[in-house]
Chain A
Amino acid sequence: MVSIETLVQHLVSGLTVGSIYAATALGLTLVYGLLKVLHIAHAGVYVIGGYAAYLAYISTGSILLAIAAAAIVPAIAGIILAKILYMPMLEKPRHIPLMLSIAAFLLIEELIANIFGHHPKGFHIEGIPTEPIDIGGITLRPSSLIVVPVTILATLALWLAYSKTKMGIASQALVQDMEVAQALGVNMPYIVYVNFAIGSILAGIAGLLYAVHYGSISPYMGDIVAYKALVVIVLGGFGSIVGALVGGLVLGVAEEVLTSYLGYILPREAYAFIVLILLLIIRPQGLFGRAE
């Protein structure tokens, strides 16, 4: 028998994992919109965010500095990746930057593994309780109460910036017609770097959220994100911000609910792709994509 309590529990747990997917997918969706390339190295930026926060936290003990590190270091990493991987490759067929991006991701992972060790590192932030709490018969991990709202607020802020500010409108214009936007005065490289910086900050924060939720970080924590964020932007519709949020949450919940009720007939990862395939059959452009 399915009780309401366990269903809600799975829901919350799915939303939490889904938030991390969503936060990483946001950067991917921004970059895809602009450059029409799958920015796989973004998953590396996410790992960098986790480790930057970890280093800042163990050396200073300050949560604020950890958050700052999870934002600033990935932003710089993202801009560097844009500068060396993508901007020189604008005129090349899109599979070339894609391959470079995959290579960069593996390089980042191995670099981090070599510097910090292959094993996960415990990363507990004091003040965030790790013991599950009970709210009306529903057991929750306190981290869910941080991870989900932070992601939703971040998405909302991003969406507002994208639809209301001059820079956001310029980004949209570049997405819709790069050549004409430039001819009207939009400094393309600058806007691309700003988008990379913002997407990378979100990925870095997601890396920190991962640590908050799981209490550890690992050089390979980006593996799952690397392809799940892809599933998310396909689910949500390429280039859509709201789609990345909803896609991430839907994927997290679907995985959680399917694995708990169907068990592990299939690995959790396989459920992600089943959800994706089912959705694409019904709505090929994704949840929030534009049908061309």
Chain B
Amino acid sequence: MVEDLHVYYGKIKALDSVSIRIGEGEAVAVVGRNGAGKSTLIKTVMGVVRASRGRIIFEEKDITNLPPWERAKLGLGYIPEGRRLFPYLTVEENLVLGGYSISTREELRERLEEVYNLFPRLRERRKQLARTLSGGEAQMLAIARALVAKPKLLLMDEPSQGLAPVVVDEIFKKISELKESGQAILLVEQNVKKALEIADKVYILETGRLVLEATPEEALRNPLVKKAYLGK
């Protein structure tokens, strides 16, 4: 849950009193155009950007002042915009980092097996440097990397970015499977159509402010959304 969040970059206000709520097992989408503040929101929840006002509550615990690595331990998983893999590490090393907070070797092994079963193509490429992956594979790895630690809440920043439509479909199929399995997700997207397909609830962010909170059905009927975001 995010409450009355304000974020500044120097003097520039990037988020202005943003409040959202994600229930257990819920998929929540935040959509908005370039520069709306979507990445800022997700980074602030993860803790790599600091909030100047407001609170972030995770499972009844105030985590607003915790560093990102503590938040990762509590169960936040981060899939950054533009994948941001570690290019000079192998696929497997990237995954091992995803499981950094796992303490025993056996558990890590098990978790790696599970994500390899989820993304068999990554298993074939485990020894390959991450920088040699195709765009789709790289996005798979970014998702898999966040899943190794079995996060309670998955933060996804524009997983469809820069991918061909077929690959976007493939990625969203995975995301929807994750959701079906009970994974809570905060998804930030410009691809509104795709985001609405999997979300339980959608927020629209415009220049740092929330302008709409709705169910996907309501959003699809909303004339403003239709006009501005679905091009109808």
Residues of chain B contacted by A166 (CB below 8 angstroms): 96, 100
**Bound complex: CA A166 to CA B95 (Å):** 12
Count class of interface residues, chain A: 10 to 19
Are A188 and B80 in contact (CB-based, < 8 A)?
no
Are B100 and A185 in contact (CB-based, < 8 A)?
yes
Are A177 and B84 in contact (CB-based, < 8 A)?
yes
Residues of chain B contacted by A115 (CB below 8 angstroms): none
A183 within 8 A of B: yes
Cβ of B71 to closest chain A Cβ, rounded Å: 8
**Bound complex: CA A166 to CA B101 (Å):** 11
A184 partner, pick from B67, B87, B88, B145, beta carbons under 8 A: B145
Are A176 and B87 in contact (CB-based, < 8 A)?
yes
Are A172 and B145 in contact (CB-based, < 8 A)?
no
**Pair count A-B, CB < 8 A:** 68
Interface flags, A6-28, vs B, CB<8A=1, else 0: 00000000000000000000000
Interface flags, B76-109, vs A, CB<8A=1, else 0: 0010100010111100010011101100000000
Are A179 and B48 in contact (CB-based, < 8 A)?
yes
Residues of chain A contacted by B73 (CB below 8 angstroms): 185
B27 within 8 A of A: no
Residues of chain B contacted by A90 (CB below 8 angstroms): none
Main secondary structure on chain A at its contact with chain B?
A: helix
* Given A169-B96, A170-B100: A185 and B84 interface contact (C-beta under 8 Å): no
* Residues of chain A having any CB pair with chain B under 8 Å: 166, 169-170, 172-173, 176-177, 179-188, 290
Are B145 and A173 in contact (CB-based, < 8 A)?
no
Are A169 and B89 in contact (CB-based, < 8 A)?
yes
Some 19 contacts from A to B, beta carbons below 8 A apart, are A166-B100, A169-B89, A169-B97, A170-B97, A172-B88, A172-B89, A173-B97, A180-B78, A180-B86, A183-B46, A183-B68, A184-B100, A184-B149, A185-B100, A185-B149, A186-B97, A187-B67, A188-B67, A290-B88
From A180, which residue of chain B is reached at the shortest CB distance? Answer: B84
Cβ of A59 to closest chain B Cβ, rounded Å: 42
**Bound complex: CA A188 to CA B88 (Å):** 19
B47 partner, pick from A183, A187, A290, beta carbons under 8 A: A183
A-B complex: 4 closest residue pairs judged by Cβ atoms: A185-B72, A185-B100, A185-B101, A183-B78
Cβ of A163 to closest chain B Cβ, rounded Å: 9
